Amino acid sequence: MRFLKTIVLGAALAVAGNAALADKLPLASISSYLNDLTTAKGAFTQINSDGTISTGTIYIKRPGRVRFEYNAPDTGLVIAGSNTVVIFDTKSNQPPETYPLARTPLSIILARDVNLGQAKMVTGHAYDGTATTVTAQDPENPQYGNIQMKFTGPKPELRQWIINDGNGGQTTVVLGELQKGGNLPNKLFDVGSPGKAPSR
């Protein structure tokens, strides 16, 4: 279950290289995109810190809710809701692990009002010719870690994020095409029970 923790805990990679400033997506545009992302679902591929690869489906319901549902043979399920992140192992008899959402870098994406222009929130903002990369942290609690997000343009589209934990572990989440809008039932994000996702 260690690889699941790295989804929600840690710090992001430093952004390197020289940006082509003219093509870099503005922080205000990225903030607006995230604020408009109320519900979404789609496939994701996760590269874990040990080099293994996991796949699954992500469900997002902003503010404050996300669900990572892993495909077999993985037995993990991560749910954020009610200001809490819970990590379930659906084939284990052990109780789930619980963390405050505010202590995780994902809280930046899930905030009610995303404002990447806030002082000391963004520590990296670069363009590599294809994607704009933004590294962000909680400016009040940088010790909680950073998240490095990649967006393509000209209109922002979230494609990937990378989280590094404080022990040097690294997890990359690559998003497939997100289906935006529509209704996602609140029970999907019930941190008291793993529940079941709707049929795909």
Position 186 in a domain = no
**46 pLDDT more than 80:** yes
At 80-112, the pLDDT tens digits run 999 999 999 877 788 889 989 988 888 999 999
Position 180 in a domain = no
Domain extent at residue 160: 2-175
Cα–Cα distance, 42 to 124 (Å, whole number): 27
Q: Any idea what the CATH number is for the domain that residue 91 is in?
A: 2.50.20.10
Position 35 in a domain = yes
Position 118 in a domain = yes
pTM over 0.95, yes/no: no
pLDDT classification of 8: cutoffs 50, 70, 90: very low
pLDDT attached to residue 83: 93
| Strand ranges inside the chain, DSSP E | 39-47, 53-61, 65-70, 76-81, 84-89, 97-100, 122-127, 132-137, 146-152, 157-164, 170-175, 179-180
Position 182 in a domain = no
Of the ranges 9-18, 102-111, 161-170, 172-181, which one carries the lowest mean pLDDT score?
9-18
At 108-165, the pLDDT tens digits run 999 999 999 999 999 999 999 999 999 999 899 888 888 999 999 889 999 999 987 6
Domains in the chain, number: 1
